Amino acid sequence: MTIVLTPDHFDYHLPEDLIAQTPSVERDQSRLMILDRLKGQYKHSKFDQLLTFLKPGDVLVMNQSRVIPARLYATNLDLDKPVEMLLLRKIKNGVWKSLVKPGRRMKVGARFEVSNKNKVISGEVLSIESDGERIISLEGEQYLESIGVIPLPPYINEINPDPERYQTVYSKEKGSIAAPTAGLHFTSEMIQRLQGNNVETLFVTLHVGWDTFRPITGRLEKHKMHSEFWAVDKNSAERIRLAKDQGRRVIAVGTTVVRLLENAAQISGDGRLSSGSGWVDLFIKPGYKFQVVDALITNFHLPKSTLMMLVSAFSSREIILNAYSEAVRAKYRFFSFGDAMFIS
């Protein structure tokens, strides 16, 4: 009998003390679980030993998106009450989609302002979406870098962590509201060492959205992913196609890269990656047939999340849950600032 999968099928027990609140002192000193996605066999290592498990000719594809200071602590000018806003996506200049709290203070027409010295960001609520998200006008968005705050995940309780530790060393294109965390383990020196050993590194862009943390309820086929912007340049697409033609492995650094590459391959119509840009809402879950990605570097994900479903699709639900059980037993650190897996 076919099992109808629900989020509960991707649940696991995680002691709270294993949720990493701070990054490792050195980026590449995180732990690394090596997992055979077909056999389910695993071994334990350190991230700086990744090269040991790579082959000459492997292609590492990395997401160069950079997290923007998208959280605003503002004041509702009509009520003189504090409100918190998370900018989800820029629709056009001066208009953004956002989350707000408390929602009762941010009705249509509500005006808000946040300032820092002589710099001011202000606006108002233009409309409310069916899911509660607000479409807002925003004046002074050029001051986001000095007024906004980097939005850390909701499970991080650290008060003032170094915001650069929530950016990859190769981050470049501004637009994410959450870091592509698998890349946080790389140092510039490590990337140079990989390149010196004939491991190719390529960079693409996918701006990480709210779905990284948004809970999923009900049957999987009913879930609708939020759209995220992606871009692959001509050189990267050509290099990835060449690697596939030559039988070399394409290794995604993070689930965001998986979704980008697989989406781009679907758009091409023949399963071969094409350059381009656009919006992706691809929901990868068990049963999905991968066309581009041969191996995956990723962190340990939240229970019942779409990311748990993606890694389960890449391996199997049973193998992933067993590997997670071992990670808990071995006291790996979980989530954004935690340890990593290399699934091949």
CATH number of the domain residue 143 falls in: 2.40.10.240
**111 and 49 share a domain?**
no
Burial of 112 (0-12, 13-18, 19+ CB in 10 A): buried
CA distance 309 to 296: 14
At residue 248 the predicted structure's pLDDT band, cuts being 50, 70 and 90, is very high
Q: How many domains does the chain have?
A: 2
Supply the pLDDT for residue 212.
65
Determine, yes or no, domain membership for 154.
Answer: no
Residue with tokens 């020196």: 189
Q: Is the pLDDT of residue 154 over 80?
A: yes
Beta bridge partners of 263: none
CA distance 120 to 106: 19
**186 and 286 share a domain?**
yes
Supply the pLDDT for residue 270.
78
Least confident of 124-128, 129-133, 197-201, 267-271: 267-271
Let me know: does 257 contact 302? Beta carbons within 8 Å. no
At residue 254 the predicted structure's pLDDT band, cuts being 50, 70 and 90, is very high
Supply the pLDDT for residue 219.
77
**114 and 205 share a domain?**
no
159 token code pair? 């008060």
SS3 of 93, please?
A: coil
CA distance 183 to 180: 6
Determine, yes or no, domain membership for 156.
Answer: no
Q: Is the pLDDT of residue 238 over 60?
A: yes
Burial of 261 (0-12, 13-18, 19+ CB in 10 A): buried
CATH number of the domain residue 297 falls in: 3.40.1780.10
Give the side-chain half-sphere CA count within 13 A for 255: 30
Q: Is the pLDDT of residue 224 over 90?
A: no
Let me know: does 343 contact 37? Beta carbons within 8 Å. yes
CA distance 69 to 151: 7
Residues 2-21: pLDDT tens digits? Answer: 678 899 999 999 999 999 99
Average pLDDT over residues 141-170: 88
Which segments within 6-118 are labelled E, that is strand?
31-35, 42-46, 59-63, 65-67, 71-76, 81-92, 95-101, 111-116
User: Residue 39 gets which letter from DSSP?
Assistant: T
Average pLDDT over residues 278-306: 95
Residue ending a domain, among 118, 147, 176, is: 147
Structural domain harbouring 177:
7-67+161-343
**76 and 56 share a domain?**
no
Least confident of 4-18, 85-99, 151-165, 286-300: 151-165
Determine, yes or no, domain membership for 2.
Answer: no
φ, ψ at 292 (rounded to 5°): -120, -50
Residue ending a domain, among 147, 176, 194, is: 147
Supply the pLDDT for residue 4.
82
